């Protein structure tokens, strides 16, 4: 059975209870981390996952609240003796910057470093990213301040699907990416450049005919305001929830039960 674990749910300003938004897709064959912030090894352990099982990392875009943990993840894996290759996926703009960042750490001179294989994703809608026996992932460019991608995951055994908007203004690409999914995870930072409000997320979910809406990347702590769930429910007839840290979605044939 495949599952998705929310490792962080906050917007760019985290709190003790809400880390920056990132998540992990877990199967028996592959485990794919979507973005990496804070201390990824520790975060995976807190979620009951073994970082040694990580096979893939998808980097959506090069903003610190989505990519800052990648150097620490790579270094910690190296220091703890990893030898297996790690696949890293992202747009060319994103991976070029990531390689430049790692170059500043002089990682080319870290002795006996494990192989890191970069996969540059074309900036086209519904581009295949990775495929295994349990799930497949495709990406589409979304409307943010810098090049960015949203994701769609198809779970083969349960025939269920999930879409993740990542950081984006409301756009047709997200509607197409999430068309008919069982679960849409959509950001709810607020109605300003490069982002969406909870109401706008609800409108996207309704237009996409998603079965369920999880709001993520929302203001937390002292910056939280209003009732995002109620706001999304005002325009979306399906189930709406706030994504929370360590929430687990199991794709076993039921409606992506918690």
Among candidate residues 75, 62, 73, 11, the one with its CA nearest the CA of residue 36: 73
Query: Per residue in 113-139, pLDDT tens?
Result: 999 999 999 999 999 999 999 999 999
Average pLDDT on 26-43 reads 97
CA dist list (Å): 149 to 90, 139, 145, 163, 241? 8, 6, 12, 11, 23
Average pLDDT on 200-222 reads 98
Q: What pLDDT does residue 3 have?
A: 97
Q: What pLDDT does residue 252 have?
A: 82
pTM reported for the whole predicted model: 0.96
Task: Answer for the pair 7, 24: CB distance below 8 angstroms, yes or no.
Answer: yes
Look at strands 239-242 and 248-251 and give their pairing. unpaired
Report the C-alpha gap between 73 and 192 in whole angstroms.
32
Query: Per residue in 152-178, pLDDT tens?
Result: 999 999 999 999 999 999 999 999 999
Q: What pLDDT does residue 1 have?
A: 84
Among candidate residues 91, 93, 143, the one with its CA nearest the CA of residue 121: 91
User: Average model confidence (pLDDT) for the chain?
Assistant: 96
- The owner of tokens 């994701």 is 151
Q: What pLDDT does residue 160 have?
A: 97
Query: Per residue in 223-239, pLDDT tens?
Result: 999 999 999 999 999 99
- The owner of tokens 């209870």 is 17
pLDDT at 63 over 90: yes
Per DSSP, which regions of 122-199 are E strands?
127-131, 135-141, 149-155, 160-164, 183-187
Report the C-alpha gap between 22 and 156 in whole angstroms.
23
Q: What pLDDT does residue 258 have?
A: 53
Average pLDDT on 143-156 reads 98
Report the C-alpha gap between 105 and 159 in whole angstroms.
42
Going from the N-terminus, what domains does the chain have, and what CATH number goes with each?
Answer: 2-251 (3.60.15.10)
Average pLDDT on 16-30 reads 97
């Amino acid at each position: 059975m495949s599952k998705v674990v929310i490792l962080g749910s906050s917007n760019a300003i985290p709190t003790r209870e809400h880390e920056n938004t990132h998540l992990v897709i877990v199967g028996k064959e592959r485990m794919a981390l979507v973005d990496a912030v804070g201390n990824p090894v520790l975060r995976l352990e807190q979620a009951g996952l073994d970082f040694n099982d990580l096979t893939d990392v998808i980097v959506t875009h090069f903003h610190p609240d989505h990519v800052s943990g990648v150097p620490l993840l790579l270094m910690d894996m190296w220091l703890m003796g990893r030898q297996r290759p790690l696949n890293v996926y992202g747009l060319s703009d994103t991976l070029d910057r990531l390689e430049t960042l790692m170059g500043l750490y002089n990682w080319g001179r870290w002795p006996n470093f494990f192989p890191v294989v970069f996969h540059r994703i074309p900036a086209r809608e519904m581009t295949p990213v990775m495929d295994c026996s349990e799930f497949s992932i495709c990406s589409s460019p979304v409307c943010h301040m810098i090049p960015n991608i949203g994701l769609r995951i198809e779970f083969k055994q349960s025939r269920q699907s999930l879409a993740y908007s990542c950081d984006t203004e409301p756009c047709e690409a997200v509607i197409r990416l999430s068309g008919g999914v069982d679960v849409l995870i959509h950001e709810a930072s607020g109605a300003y450049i490069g982002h969406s409000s909870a109401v706008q997320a609800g409108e996207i979910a309704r237009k996409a005919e998603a079965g369920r809406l999880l709001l993520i990347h929302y203001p937390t702590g002292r910056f939280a305001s209003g009732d995002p769930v109620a706001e999304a429910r005002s325009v979306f007839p399906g189930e709406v929830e706030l994504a929370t840290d360590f929430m687990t979605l199991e794709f076993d044939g039921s409606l992506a039960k918690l």
